Chains A and B, each alone.
Chain A
Amino acid sequence: MDTATQIRTPSAAAEAGIYHYDALDHAFITRRVEAFREQVQRRLSGALSEDEFKPLRLMNGLYLQLHAYMLRIAIPYGTLSSKQMRALAHVARKYDRGYGHFTTRQNIQYNWIKLEDAPAILADLASVGMHAIQTSGNCIRNVTTDQFAGAAADEIVDPRVYAEILRQWSTLHPEFSFLPRKFKIAITGSGHDRAAIAVHDIGIRARSGPGGAVGFEIFVGGGLGRSPFLGRRLADWVPEADLLGWLEAVLRVYNQYGRRDNIYKARIKILVHEVGIDRLREQVEEEFARIRGPKYRLDPEIVETIRRHFAPPAFAALPAVSPALEQARAGDPAFARWTRSNLTPHRQPGYAAVTISLKPTGGIPGDATSEQMEAVAALADRYSFGEIRVSHEQNLVLAHVRQDDLPALWRELGRHGLDAANAGLVGDIISCPGLDYCALANARSIPLAQDISRRFADLDLQHRIGPLKIKMSGCINACGHHHVGDIGILGVDKHGVETYQITIGGTATEEAALGQVVGPAVGYDQVADVVEALVALYLERRGEGESFLQTVARIGVRPFKEKVYGAAA
């Protein structure tokens, strides 16, 4: 299949920034649901054994976790319509226990699913163009991107266009369905990287060149887990037309040379580490030269057609500063505080991008109830062109809100417990499900996140501390990105007892760095005290306007270690 037939143009114009499936897509996912319905029936009747059925259920996002089946639904590049959000709320209410959990891969998971219900759930979701395909297995997973794509004032290229092209290219790609291991791609189009591209198998930075031509800087071999690596630069500038050819070449080289003999060495980061980035580049260039041609050339007309689907919504012409917003800020300190942490500057004068924090004090990071999902859907319809984003930091975003509407939006968010003024602050903790749900976990993460967030319940304190990211994983798989937190917390099993290794100084931005271990692992009951001590030292020692990372870089890890373990450390 060549690129021209592989990448199809959208058929319907609708909400802002939503790619709508065409009849072919709908027919395909409906057929897929029916196939899975039959597979489940055969499993329940005993015609299929668990060994035979397991790969089939995983291909449809259905895992078996600690307490029940868990279903992971794909949210392509974290973007969904209000209608889709209502469908997610419906699934939570009808088939789960009234909750959904938004993940660091911009997807959603349900923790209490019955096998016998799974086909009906997928059928309900297929009716709104959603599915669970490629949310598991050794294939190319959901392509992730900046949650403020198409809205951020600092954006250079809208990454959604290319994320959608990559989604189509990678979906059921016959050659890449059985890779040595799972494969994650992230793309950003801004100077400031909010998509954590350095810690993905392939990280892409879309850039603008002479005459407005779009090209891509490509990084390869990033990843967290047992052996964390930051991506290495593979190419400075890949022209738009060659993007798919280049990625195809990278995946082919990985498919051929990636280690299938050892699951712990099977990710592309190990291949990059073992052969070196220069040799890998040679191999990719050789492969690209071999396959280069019309088959893999990205047709500018197709790009343009997809780009039109992400055209800006019908913004009103507004002054850059809203008097109504300024007045509300002056009159209500709580609202003013929320606007300081939860708004991101918008490229369109008079608008703002709003982060809806799913991290209330003492809450479960990333969890939303059915009622909250429906409330967000209604608010998206009213204030943000019916569109919602999921961030890899486990929050939701209304990307295009009039500044004039912010006071009303904030009040309504408050009615649903969605007005936490802590986006990017110490209470905005990334946490994986950990041992409370995950069958692979060593230790709990959610209750520790809740504990830490209660310690910092005072929002004025959080704002005084300033931006600070705590990231927590319940095992070395690092779903909670602990390696790249200002403060990272990793759950470790020590003879059946939960202990935690603490790191500091990590970041997933354009200055990506892996955190450094502070000292010996600590017990469950000590973690919140340790975090408080680390933050206290930062407040004592920081210079004017200095971030946590800058303070760690300036004074080193030792003072933090002494603060936690005593001067003899």
Chain B
Amino acid sequence: MKLFVVTATNLRDGAIRWLGAGNIWQPLLANAQPFDAAGIVPALAFGAAEISAQRVIGVYQVEVRRAPDGLDPLSTRERIRAFGPTVHPEFSYAPATSGLGV
């Protein structure tokens, strides 16, 4: 079964956000709520409403898998976005799970 999370960018500071349980935006992927293909539809609709409310921008879905350390995006781009730039370990959002050869 494919798994997805919803991500966005916080309007005020440009920081990455993940939609967590109870429709609360979270700063870390680890706290994101995973959805299946049916569940992602209302989650994206909530994201669209949040754009209209001028709280976030750029809402979209990211495909993830469950890894031993937690949720893990499938694409390299989304892994870098989720875990931080690979060239500054001190800027990492979650170094233990990055696995990008930092």
Residues of A with Cβ closer than 8 Å to B?
Answer: 43-46, 49-50, 64, 66-69, 97, 112-116, 364, 435-437, 441, 443-444, 446-447, 450, 496-498
Contact = CB atoms under 8 A, between A and B. Distances in A.
What are the 3 tightest A-B residue pairs by CB atom distance, in nearest-first order?
A: A46-B54, A436-B85, A69-B14
A496 B16 contact: no
Interface size class of B (residues with CB under 8 A): 20 to 34
B87 A450 contact: yes
B23 interface: no
B12 A447 contact: no
B65 interface: no
B16 A436 contact: no
Contacts of B91: 97, 112
Contacts of A45: 54
B48 interface: no
Contacts of B87: 364, 436, 444, 446-447, 450
A31 B30 CA distance: 44
Main secondary structure of the interface of B (DSSP, over half): loop
B86 interface: yes
A328 B87 CA distance: 37
Contact of A114 (B12, B53, B81, B84): B12
A441 B14 contact: no
A135 to B, nearest CB: 17
Contacts, number: 70
Interface of B: 9, 11-16, 51, 53-54, 57-58, 74-77, 80-81, 84-88, 91, 101
Given A435-B80, A436-B80, A446-B87, A50 B14 contact: no
17 contacts: A43-B11, A44-B11, A44-B12, A46-B54, A49-B54, A64-B57, A64-B58, A67-B84, A68-B13, A68-B15, A114-B12, A436-B87, A444-B76, A446-B87, A447-B101, A450-B87, A497-B76
B14 A68 contact: yes
B16 A498 contact: no
Contacts of B13: 68-69, 114-116
Contact of B75 (A66, A446, A496): A496
Contacts of A497: 76
A45 B12 CA distance: 10
Nearest to B75: A496
Contacts of B11: 43-44, 50, 115
Nearest to B12: A116
Nearest to B15: A68
A475 B54 CA distance: 31
Contacts of A44: 11-12, 54
Contacts of B74: 496
Contacts of B76: 435, 443-444, 496-498
**Of residues B13, B14, B51, B74, which shows the largest number of chain A Cβ atoms within 10 Å of its Cβ?**
B14
A115 B54 CA distance: 13
A66 B87 CA distance: 14
